A and B are shown apart, each in its own frame.
Chain A
């Protein structure tokens, strides 16, 4: 495991969280949530990476060739599916907010507080 991918992961996570906290526009906020999730892709692929190893398709390479970890790739793929579902749903909420209340500012949608 190298240090660099994890520094990148931490940076992406921090940037995404900063974006969610400061955002005044729902679509922007949802994209920032995607950025937060992207940090997990970097982490997962970084965990499974091996320098100089082949892609894990044992079709035309010898069986004992070093390969990168296929498990994390499967995890990242599942992660993408989850992200697609969450993002689609959140964007649908954003569309409803724009259609019915004419605003995409999370602060203007507030009905309940205190």
Chain B
């Protein structure tokens, strides 16, 4: 019973409410608002870091207003926190603090509601990670959703902003309501809203078709938030138009929270009783690998820098889901490490793109070619983060991906490694091509795609005019985050610590005992049988090899026009992606159609095999 857990959500909410209430006094006092938001973000990050370290000894539960469960029946609402959930929430808070520092000089003028929305967004993300109540999960989900929709449309002057925000809001709301329908069904079936109690009830009475339907409906909302094919279309539209500091949060942590939601719901309520692990692994692995490939292909052909990074997020989300789908502790530890590494380098990349936009007034790779040479420090930071995104050893992204691949291989699924390498190479090549072309002027400007040019010409700068200097408040957060991604991969003992946490995360009986009986269940200190968490020479060689191939591919792309021999037969417009490009139509009606088709397919696959 430690109020510190509650404080992590109460603090940002209280600050947001105070800022709104004092709007009249604080108007024009921009620095006060900026400082308040930065301090709040940093304080929440510190609180959650303490909780993360503390919960490595055993999960903690906080019952609001002291309504503890009696005889195994939960009366109140709880936060049930383990190291994985607290760590993810901490990551969100770190990114909010970094984004607010970046905003210090980024916007010429900024409205009060920007700070308020960032803080409610933070509260929503933290609450979503910590809660142990299924209905509260929905409420926090909607809180972070609504804040994110509003932040995406922060500059409604552009057609694309409204398109992106509307597509984002409508698809994600449909998903949230389907989740709520699932929650209603599960409540009708079990009479409980506490996840531990629901899990215990289903385990006793056995799962039936209705429970499967509820499971599919609940995770639909999270699959949409997690940008899994075919639910992913909204993401690129929203990320292309959101202000850069908001993109950091959307891409760095919000998408991953959707996947966390799937893991939380599965392992606290359904995992034990649903059975049919092969079917569940098969379904989600298919979705994950498909997402990874689609995201990587779209990423490689994109010239709009923010959209390029958005598609790489889709590709990575697919990799994370593939790891979760393996349903083993090592399989979950992989995405956990990868998410942290990815969030740090992706945030750094977005901040660098923000600096480019601030200094040069464009995010069009074709136009920017060679124009970024003046931005030396930004170029170095971007290249470093790009190498991290390409899974260069020893970045955390590399270590996490290695764990997923190792688990896949040990389960006879070598296909995973093959797909992952292809995706890493494509995504890495895309960002390294940008680094080489924009910041070092290598190769030729890519040929102008008329549609891209039309999109980019409407892009107006988020700051009023091109600036002569890069403020320290913009470059320092980017550099720190990129180096953080590198440092996280160098932490000794990280693999086994996260694996122990993942093992505990998947232990439904221990979760039940902790929440409903108040028992203290110590985390497994050693994993039996010990699975390899270290880095072998083969892993290292594969990692370095894939980065080398990515570099080669990036150079090929940059010098493409000087290679007539290779170009023959690969004229623009005949690429692999061309046939599926039209699915990304930009119209929300089509996206919702895809959601319905996707739910029918996933639901069908599970409902007819699990009975």
Chain A residues within CB distance 8 Å of chain B: 1, 9, 13, 17, 20-23, 26, 29-30, 33, 36-37, 39-40, 43-44, 46-47, 71-72, 75, 78-79, 82, 85-86, 89-90, 93, 96-97, 100-101, 106-107, 109-114
B135, B156, B592: the one within 8 Å of A20 (CB): B592
A17, A71, A96, A114: the one within 8 Å of B162 (CB): A96
Given A20-B174, A43-B184, A26–B166 Cβ distance below 8 Å?
yes
* Chain A residues whose C-beta falls within 8 Å of the C-beta of B162 in the assembled complex: 93, 96-97, 100-101, 109
Nearest A residue to B170 by beta-carbon distance? A33
B451, A114: Cβ atoms closer than 8 Å? yes
* Chain A residues whose C-beta falls within 8 Å of the C-beta of B193 in the assembled complex: 71
- B142: interface (CB < 8 Å): yes
Nearest B residue to A87 by beta-carbon distance? B173
Listed by A's residue number, 11 A-B pairs whose Cβ atoms lie within 8 Å are: A13-B181, A17-B174, A17-B596, A22-B589, A26-B166, A33-B170, A39-B177, A86-B142, A93-B153, A107-B589, A109-B166
- B552: interface (CB < 8 Å): no
A94→B240 CA distance, assembly (Å): 19
- B2: interface (CB < 8 Å): no
A100, B156: Cβ atoms closer than 8 Å? yes
* Chain A residues whose C-beta falls within 8 Å of the C-beta of B160 in the assembled complex: 111-112
The prevalent SS among residues of A at the interface is helix
A29, A43, A111: the one within 8 Å of B170 (CB): A29
A22→B588 CA distance, assembly (Å): 10
Given A101-B159, A106-B589, A47–B174 Cβ distance below 8 Å?
no
B157, B166, B581, B587: the one within 8 Å of A93 (CB): B166
A82, B156: Cβ atoms closer than 8 Å? no
Nearest A residue to B458 by beta-carbon distance? A111
A86, B173: Cβ atoms closer than 8 Å? yes
A21, B586: Cβ atoms closer than 8 Å? no
A109→B163 CA distance, assembly (Å): 6
A20, B170: Cβ atoms closer than 8 Å? yes
B153, B174, B586: the one within 8 Å of A113 (CB): B586
- B358: interface (CB < 8 Å): no
Given A22-B589, A100-B157, A47–B188 Cβ distance below 8 Å?
yes
Q: How far is the CB of A90 from chain B (nearest CB, A)?
A: 6
Q: How far is the CB of A67 from chain B (nearest CB, A)?
A: 15
* Chain B residues whose C-beta falls within 8 Å of the C-beta of A17 in the assembled complex: 174, 592, 596
Given A82-B139, A110-B163, A89–B146 Cβ distance below 8 Å?
yes
- B71: interface (CB < 8 Å): no
A9→B160 CA distance, assembly (Å): 35
Nearest A residue to B238 by beta-carbon distance? A112
A100→B228 CA distance, assembly (Å): 33
A22, A40, A85: the one within 8 Å of B184 (CB): A40
Q: Which 5 A-B pairs have the closest CB atoms?
A: A111-B160, A113-B586, A47-B188, A110-B586, A114-B581
A47, B587: Cβ atoms closer than 8 Å? no
- B236: interface (CB < 8 Å): yes
* Chain B residues whose C-beta falls within 8 Å of the C-beta of A90 in the assembled complex: 149, 166, 169-170
A80→B307 CA distance, assembly (Å): 34
Nearest A residue to B159 by beta-carbon distance? A111
A9, A37, A72, A106: the one within 8 Å of B588 (CB): A106
B163, A111: Cβ atoms closer than 8 Å? yes
- B489: interface (CB < 8 Å): no
A40→B587 CA distance, assembly (Å): 25
A45→B181 CA distance, assembly (Å): 12
Q: How far is the CB of B450 from chain A (nearest CB, A)?
A: 11
A109→B158 CA distance, assembly (Å): 10
Q: How far is the CB of B241 from chain A (nearest CB, A)?
A: 8
B150, B159, B581, B593: the one within 8 Å of A89 (CB): B150
Q: How far is the CB of A21 from chain B (nearest CB, A)?
A: 5
A85, B146: Cβ atoms closer than 8 Å? yes
Q: How far is the CB of A105 from chain B (nearest CB, A)?
A: 10
A93, B184: Cβ atoms closer than 8 Å? no
* Chain A residues whose C-beta falls within 8 Å of the C-beta of B185 in the assembled complex: 43, 47
Nearest A residue to B169 by beta-carbon distance? A90
Known: A20-B174, A111-B158. 18 other contacts (CB 8 A): A9-B181, A26-B166, A29-B589, A36-B174, A36-B177, A40-B181, A71-B187, A82-B139, A82-B146, A89-B146, A89-B169, A90-B166, A90-B170, A100-B156, A107-B589, A109-B163, A110-B163, A111-B160
B163, A112: Cβ atoms closer than 8 Å? yes
* Chain A residues whose C-beta falls within 8 Å of the C-beta of B241 in the assembled complex: 112
Q: How far is the CB of B600 from chain A (nearest CB, A)?
A: 11
Q: How far is the CB of B447 from chain A (nearest CB, A)?
A: 16
- B180: interface (CB < 8 Å): yes
B159, B177, B593: the one within 8 Å of A109 (CB): B159
A97→B156 CA distance, assembly (Å): 8
Nearest A residue to B139 by beta-carbon distance? A78
A107→B159 CA distance, assembly (Å): 11
Given A26-B166, A90-B166, A21–B596 Cβ distance below 8 Å?
yes
Q: How far is the CB of A83 from chain B (nearest CB, A)?
A: 9
- B516: interface (CB < 8 Å): no
A34→B531 CA distance, assembly (Å): 50
